[in-house]
Structure 1
Amino acid sequence: MWEERDGALHRSFRFADFSEAFGFLTRVALHAEKVDHHPEFTSVWNRVDFRLTSHDAGGVTDRDRALAEVIDRLAAQ
């Protein structure tokens, strides 16, 4: 579940291993490039943490919420 705090949406995802987490992150990156809206993230072995915010708008926008929905769908694949 995404949590809104500090002007951003936050969520962590866990996977079976590094390879699965990296594959997921690659799918997110490909989508983000298409829509020109790039998330902040960290990746540590099997975990990927996201922080979504629109810096130019100074907080969370519909673009962030739409990206969060896509990230959820990609994580479910």
Structure 2
Amino acid sequence: MDIPDGWALGADGKSLHKSFRFKDFSEAFGFLTRVAMHAEKVDHHPEFASVWNRVDFRLTTHDADALTDRDVMLATAINKLL
């Protein structure tokens, strides 16, 4: 399984992690909104935290208790939404 650019395998081996930084809160929130709309469309939802100009993601497939192709595809899509 190839890990998309800028993403890191979590210490648990079951997740992908990446942080994004933006100019301000509005840019970060706009990005997060685009990700949320895509996640809803593909029915695969990320864990995230948003603090002012930063959005942190953790992707894992809870049903499988593992990292799956769905997580890799979502990470790739998130990169493209940037």
TM-score class, shorter-chain normalisation, is: over 0.9
Q: 1:1-77 maps to which residues of 2 (within 5 A)? A: 1-5=6-10, 6=12, 7-75=14-82
- CA RMSD, aligned part only? 0.5
- TM-score (structure 2 length as normaliser): 0.90
TM-score (norm 1): 0.95
If each structure's helix is expressed as a fraction of its own residues, which one has the higher value? Answer: 1
Q: CA deviation at 1:59?
A: 1.2
**SS of equivalent residue, structure 1 residue 60:** coil
Q: How many residues align?
A: 75
For 1:10 and 1:58, how far apart are their aligned partners in 2? 16
1:25-64 CA-to-partner distances (Å, cap 9, x unmatched) read: 0000000000000000000000000000001111110000
More strand by share: 1
Q: Measure the CA separation in 2 of the matches of 1:56 and 1:37.
A: 11
**Equivalent position amino acid for 2:8 in 1:** E
Q: Which runs of 4+ in 1 moved over 4 A?
A: none
